[in-house]
Amino acid sequence: MEQPTDSIPDADHTRQNSLDEPPWSPDLVDTMAQLGHVWLCHDQEDADLLLRPDAGDLPALCLPIPQVHLLTPELVKPLQTITVVQRPDEGLGDGFYVRYGLKVKQHLEEVGWRGRLYRVPLNEIIPTLARLWRVVQEDRQRFQFELGNLQVAGDGDEIKPKPRAKTSKATGPRPVIVHADQVQAQAIQWLWEPYIPRNMLVMLDGDPGLGKSMVLLQIATNLSRGHRFLDQTGKPTLLADVEGPQRVLVLSAEDSIEHIMVPRLKRAGADLQHITFLTGYYGVEDEHCVFDFDKLSVLVIALEELKPVLVVIDPLVAYMGDRNINQSTDTRPLMAALRRLAERYQCTIVGVRHPGKLDQGGRLMYRGQGNMDIIGAARSGLWVQQHPAHPETQSLLIHAKTNVGPLGRTVVFSRAQGEFTWVGVSRLTEAMLTGKGPDPMAMLEAFFWLEEYMTPGVPYDSTKIEKDAKAAEISTNTLKRAKKLLGIRSKKDGELWRWILPSLSTTKAT
C-alpha cells in the first residue's frame, strides 16, 4: 500500500541521524557542489549504498520528508539536478515517490532553486535491494553504467506537478501542452557571439586539413583562460557569457593527443588544467573500451564530473556506432538526446563533420556528412573554407546557419606552418562564396585582393587601383564586381575618381 508523504515507516529510520543535525558531512557537501548533482534517498540504507567507498562519486542525501527543511539555499544553489531514488522492494508505489518529490520540489523552489528533479526506480537496475548490495560489490562498473543510463535525458521521469484532473476518463495518448504565458523567456547566452551559443548544438563542417581542429582548440584555449573573442569588426573585445576560465571536454578520434593536440594547446597558451579528453571507458573487467554513442551514459558521467561549457566531438561520424549517418531514423533520436544533454548540463556540444561524398555545391550548411536532420538539430552551423587568395596559409570560418540570431561575419585565420593566428574578419558572405558567375574563383580572389589592398575610410586613386589590379592579373570587369560586393563607393576629387572602402562598423555582416 502507498504511504502518506508526511510519514515514513519507522523501519526506514533505523539508522537515520537525529533531526537536530544534517545527515551529511562537509566532504559530501563539497562533492555535491563540484558535481552539481545529488541522489536523494529517504532511507539511510539507500544513502549508505550510494556512498560506499567503492561506489565512486555518487553523492547521496538521506532525507525523509520531515527533514526537507534541511535543504537550505546555500546547499542547493550549486545543484543542477536532484534525483529521487525509488526503493525497489518496499511496495510504496510510484505515487508515494512522486508526492515525495513534489513536496521536495515545492520547498526547493521556495528557497530559490531552479534545477530539475527526477525520479529513478532502482528496480529498473536490479529487482531487490538485497541483490543490489551484492551487485554493487561484484559488478560496480555495471551498476554505475546502468545508474548513469537512467539519468540520460528521456530515461528518468522528471517530477512535475500534474495537470488539473479532467472529468473525462478517456485513455490513450494525451498531448503535453505548454502555455506561453507560463513560460519564462530567457535571453540567448554565448560562448562566442554570434557563432557559438551556449547550451545548444553546433556543427562545424569543412574539408580535412583546413584548420577545423585548430580553430576549435583555439576556442578551447580562450575559454580555458577567459580570453576575448573577435567581434564583428575583427577586434578581440567579446567575452563568453560565463564567469572566468572554463573547462572544455574534447572527444577526438583523429588527432593524437600527445603529438598534436596538447602541443597545439601549449603553443596557444591554454590552461591545460581546464582541458580534458574522453578517450574511452573501462569495462566490467577494467578493460579499456572504445566509446561511441551507444554508451551515452559514459558521456553523462563525464559531464556530471567535469561540468564543461564546451564539448567537442571530432568527428561526429566516428562515434555513431552502428547508426547509419544518412538515415534520419538512426540519427534523429541521437541528435535529440545530445540536444537535451546540452540543455541539462549547460554545455555547448560542437560536432565536426567532413563534406559528404556527393557534394554538388549549393548552400554550405547542406554539404556536411549525413542527412538533413543533423544540421537541422544544430542551432548554429559553421564552415571552414580554404582562403581563395591565400590557399596555402589561411582559411575562412564562415557562419552558414543560425536559428538564434543574425549571421556573423566571415572570420579569417592563419594556419601557416601549423600555427593558429587570428587574422580578422572579412566582408565575404556565404552568398558570395556559393554564388554563380562566369569565374567565381577569380571574383573571390579579386574580392580579397581589393579588401586587403584598401584601408577603410581612406580614398584611393581608382586609376592606380586598376593598374595594380592588372599587375595582379585581375580583369577590369572582375575588379568592378568585387568593388560592388565590397560596397566601395566612388567620389570625384577634381579630375580624379577615388574609391572609398566603408569601415566594418558601418556595414552589415550579411
Which of these ranges, 168-182, 391-405, 473-487, 492-506, has the smallest mean pLDDT? 168-182
When the pLDDT of each residue in the chain is averaged and rounded to a whole number, the result is 81
Beta strands across the sheet bearing 489-493: 460-461, 496-500, 489-493
The confidence band for 12, taking pLDDT boundaries of 50, 70 and 90, is: very low
pLDDT at 13: 33
H or E segment and range at residue 45: helix 44-50
The string of pLDDT tens digits covering residues 241-264 is: 999 999 999 999 999 999 999 999
Q: What is the mean pLDDT of residues 330-353?
A: 95
**What is the arithmetic mean of pLDDT over 220-226?**
98
188-221 as b/e: b if 16+ CB within 10 A: ebbbbbbbbbbbbbbbbbbeeebbbbbbbbbbbb
Lowest mean pLDDT among 91-105, 180-194, 282-296: 91-105
Mean of pLDDT values over 80-107: 70
Residue 303's Cβ-count burial label (10 Å; 0-12, 13-18, 19+) is buried
Mean pLDDT for 464-480 is 90
Identify the pLDDT of residue 20. Answer: 42
Q: What is the residue extent of each domain of the chain? A: 10-161, 190-434, 440-506
The model's pTM is 0.64
Q: Which CATH number is 10-161's, of 1.10.3470, 1.10.8, 3.30.70, 3.40.1360? A: 3.40.1360
State pLDDT tens for residues 412-460.
999 999 999 999 999 998 888 776 666 677 888 888 899 999 999 999 9
Pairing of strands 288-289, 281-282: antiparallel
How far, CA to CA in Å, does 290 sit from each of 278, 301, 333? 10, 16, 21
Q: Is the pLDDT of residue 2 over 70?
A: no
Predicted pLDDT of residue 106 = 79
In whole angstroms, give the CA distance from residue 484 to residue 21: 75
pLDDT reading at 236 higher than 90:
yes
- State residue 72's pLDDT score: 78
Summarised one tens digit per residue, pLDDT across range 344-380 is: 999 999 999 999 865 556 788 888 888 999 999 999 9
Report CA dihedral (466, 471, 475, 476) to the nearest 10 degrees. 10
Dihedral pair phi/psi, residue 151, rounded to 5° = -90, -20
pLDDT tens digits for 145-173? 555 555 544 445 677 665 555 555 556 78
What does the alpha-carbon distance between residue 374 and residue 400 come to, in Å, rounded to a whole number?
A: 14
Residue 6 has pLDDT above 70, yes or no: no
At residue 57, does pLDDT exceed 80? no
Report helix, strand or coil for 19.
coil
Question: CA 417 to CA 43: how far, in whole Å?
Answer: 61
How far is the C-alpha of 60 from the C-alpha of 50, rounded, in Å? 6
310, 220 Cβ separation under 8 angstroms: yes
pLDDT at position 505: 78
Q: How confident is the model at residue 228 (pLDDT cuts 50, 70, 90)?
A: very high
Report whether CATH 1.10.10 matches the domain 440-506.
yes
pLDDT band at 183 (very low <50, low <70, confident <90, very high): confident
- Residue 299's pLDDT band (cuts 50, 70, 90): very high
HEC profile of 130-194: HHHHHHHHHCHHHHHHHHHHCCCCCCCEECCCCCCCCCCCCCCCCCCCCCHHHCCCCCCCEEECC
Range scoring the smallest mean pLDDT among 132-136, 216-220, 484-488: 132-136
Under DSSP, the state recorded for 120 is E
Whether 10-161 and 440-506 share one fold: the answer is: no
- CB atoms near residue 464 (< 10 Å): 12
**82 bridge partner residues:** 38, 117
How far is Cα 384 from Cα 411, in angstroms, rounded to an integer? Answer: 9
Angle at 146 between CA 118 and CA 285, to 5 degrees: 155
Copy the grid coordinates of residue 263. 602541443
pLDDT at 3 (0 to 100): 37
Second-level CATH architecture of 190-434: 3-Layer(aba) Sandwich (3.40)
